[in-house]
Every structure is written in C-alpha cells, then in structure tokens.
Structure 1
Amino acid sequence: MLPAISPAETLQKLQDGKIRLVDIREPDEINSLRVPGAEAAPLSVIRWMRLAPSDAKLPIVFTCNSGNRTSKQSDLLEELAGGPAWQMEGGVSAWARAGLPVERGRQGVSLFRQIQIGAGALVLLGLAGVFVWPPMIWLPAFVGAGLMFAGVTGFCGLGLLLSAMPWNKK
C-alpha cells in the first residue's frame, strides 16, 4: 500500500523539485482539470508506458480524481514506480478544494459516460418502439450484444463513433 501525502505537502515538494507528480486519470479527465506540472500516465495504459523509475532523490506521487483509483491500484503503481512512491490524499478533487493551483480546460462529458448514455437511450428507444413496431425489440438486443462484444474484445463501435463526433474533437 502506498503511503499517503497531503495535497499541500505535495504542492510544496513539487515546487521544490523534490517529487514527480503522476496523474493516472484518463485524458478527458485531465483535460478538464489539471494540476500544473503533473505528468499524465492514464491507468488504462500505464502498464505499457515507459514510466521513468523513481529514486530517493525524486520519488513519485500518484494521483487520480478522488484517491480511489490510486488506493485500489496501489500495488501495481508501487511496482511501476520502481522506487519510493506515495499517493496523494483525496486526489485532484482534494487539491482543487484546497484552493491549490489548477488549470481548467473544456468541461465535457467523458467518452465513457457518453457511451453509457447512448447505449441506455438506444435500449429505451427500442423498448418504447416495440409498441409501434414490434421488430424494434431487436434494437436493445443488438445494443446488449454490442456491449458484451466490447467487454470481451475491447473494441467498442459506439465509442469509436462517439469519439469522431465534433463535440469530442479538440
């Protein structure tokens, strides 16, 4: 388990150049609210990134949104750090609540939530459409099959479609 460090202490050590702050949130989360000087290493791909190892002179402090992801993935993060590492208490949310410096970007709905909204809407549309046209029952079945396929293979057609939409372009 990674030991915890407060946001205020993290800021002081970051300003003094005594730590590296690594943000494990996903890109859309980092784009909306970011700690200046934090390195991005999304949890979904961190295993395959070449994270520079920490050492006694420059340990790593991991952070996420609320501290839950860093706590749950503590063993993995400690292994990937390759040296001294901590987790920031309360994550970036606690950092922002403490009034510490942040960079705010475009506030948007994450791609994952857009997929949830889209899939749910298609299921409800299909179920309501059954009263008008009975073969519409196949729409929720198709959505369910697509979600299962995405879970098994990692390929999500709805996610690719939504990521190409203009509101998801930078």
Structure 2
Amino acid sequence: MTSAQPITSVDAQTLKSWIDKHEGLTVIDVRTAHEFSNLHIKGSYNVPLTTLAEHSEEISSRVGEHVVLVCQSGIRAGQAQQKLAPLGISTVAVLEGGINSFAKADGDVVRGTQVWDIERQVRFAAGSLVLAGLAGGKFLSPKVRTLSGIIGAGLTFSGVSNTCAMGKALSALPWNKTKPVPTETETLSKLPSPKEN
C-alpha cells in the first residue's frame, strides 16, 4: 500500500484489495450519522467532518498508518484529507466516486433502511394530492379540484416563506424518525484506541 509518491486518492477496486489485506488500514466515513446508517463500508468508522476537523490530532493517534476517507462524492473527504494529511499518517487517501462507487464495485457494504429524504417525500405527496384533486374533480365533483388549489397555494407559500408545513408533518411519521446523532465522545470512542495500532 505504500509508495514513493503520496497517495491522495484511491479507486473502489484498490480499496477492496486493501481491505482484504488488513494492513494497518482505517476507513473513515465523514458523512453524517444518518447518511452512514443508510449505507456504509463494512468495518468503516463514522466520524462526521465537523468532528474530524475539531479532533484531527486525536483521530490521527488512533488510526492505522493508512487512512481512506469516504463521503458521498469526495468533497467532504477532500476537506478531511486536508486536516489529516499533515499529521504524519503514511497514507491519507480519498475514495474516488464516494460510497456509491464502492457499492457499485461490489464492495462489502452495510445497507440500512432506505427512506426517501423529506424533500422527495414532499414532492411525491404534493404531486399525488394534486393529481387526486384533478381526478376527483373530473370523476366525482368539480369541488374536489379545490384540493389541487390548496396544495398549489401551500407550495407557493412554502417557496416564499422558506418553510414547509408538509415537510414538518411528514418528518413526524414513524419511518422518518432517526436515531439521535451520536455525541463527539461517542463517535471518538468507537475508533480504535492508540494501543491497538
């Protein structure tokens, strides 16, 4: 895994081979706890970017000599790389293409319950209600079209006020309840202790 040139990025196939070798490798996922719970690399550690930025020295003392940083697209992992690279770790690389590239390469991933994000749920609910209002107005009573008008007015108000009553209502539904975000102490305690490296 080491080379004369510093490794700044790694593709999914290379990461798979590194994971198989277990040579002082630590995979850190810098996405939010919610994103991590939906999909992550098996054996990776979730250290959100904000926590990593504030505790980079402590984290560097707990990881192996080779670190691969993972996020959705590579942007947050690149920011994390800038924090960890100067701290004496042999390899601090970013996974090219993010978590989805690793999953597409048949990497060993853990998938959580897949839930649409709230914005998508709002679009689906609003669109469905508008269609129901139009269909009801055609086949039941013209008064049912009022539903489409109400939804349209609500969406207009939502855009102007930058609030979303429908989003708040949908977020209260059981499938949108998320686990509490771990504290920084809980996050850091999941990393290997310095003695294990």
Q: What whole-Å deviation, never above 9, does each CA across 1:123-170 have from its counterpart, x for those lacking one?
A: 4456667772375534302222114433xxxx5332222122123346
- Find the aligned partners of 1:129 and 1:149 in 2 and give their Cα distance: 29
- Find the aligned partners of 2:165 and 2:66 in 1 and give their Cα distance: 42
- Find the aligned partners of 2:158 and 2:136 in 1 and give their Cα distance: 19
Tell me how far 1:22 sits from its aligned partner.
1.6
- Find the aligned partners of 1:116 and 1:17 in 2 and give their Cα distance: 45
Amino acid at match of 1:113: R
Superposed, 1:18-97 pairs within 5 Å as 18-24=25-31, 27=34, 29-40=35-46, 46=49, 49-51=50-52, 52-53=55-56, 55=60, 57=65, 59-64=67-72, 67=73, 70=74, 73=75, 77-78=78-79, 81-84=82-85, 85-97=92-104
- Find the aligned partners of 2:10 and 2:66 in 1 and give their Cα distance: 15
Q: 2:169 aligns with which of 139, 156, 161?
A: 161
- Find the aligned partners of 2:165 and 2:24 in 1 and give their Cα distance: 43
- RMSD over aligned CA atoms reads 3.7
Amino acid at match of 2:175: W
In structure 2, the gaps of 5 or more residues are: 1-6, 86-91, 179-197
Q: What whole-Å deviation, never above 9, does each CA across 1:74-119 have from its counterpart, x for those lacking one?
A: 6x94267513253212322221222221112223333332122123
**Counterpart check, 1:7 vs 2:12:** yes
State the identity as a percent.
24
**Counterpart check, 1:104 vs 2:105:** no
**1:6–1:89 Cα contact (<8 Å) kept:** yes
Q: What whole-Å deviation, never above 9, does each CA across 1:12-36 have from its counterpart, x for those lacking one?
A: 1693333442242672x43333212
TM-score by length of 2: 0.57
- Find the aligned partners of 1:10 and 1:107 in 2 and give their Cα distance: 25
- Find the aligned partners of 2:100 and 2:81 in 1 and give their Cα distance: 24
Shift in alpha-carbon separation, 1:130–1:80, aligned structure 2, 3 A: farther
Name the structure 2 match of 1:144. Answer: 156
DSSP-derived class of the 1:142 partner: helix
- Find the aligned partners of 1:148 and 1:121 in 2 and give their Cα distance: 22
DSSP-derived class of the 1:82 partner: helix
Q: What whole-Å deviation, never above 9, does each CA across 1:21-58 have from its counterpart, x for those lacking one?
A: 2242672x43333212333356xxx4xx3213265945
TM-score by length of 1: 0.63
In structure 1, the gaps of 5 or more residues are: none
Amino acid at match of 2:121: Q
| Number of aligned residues | 152
- Find the aligned partners of 2:42 and 2:13 in 1 and give their Cα distance: 14
- Find the aligned partners of 1:125 and 1:149 in 2 and give their Cα distance: 26
Shift in alpha-carbon separation, 1:162–1:16, aligned structure 2, 3 A: farther
Tell me how far 1:5 sits from its aligned partner.
0.9
- Find the aligned partners of 1:103 and 1:79 in 2 and give their Cα distance: 22
- Find the aligned partners of 2:82 and 2:96 in 1 and give their Cα distance: 18
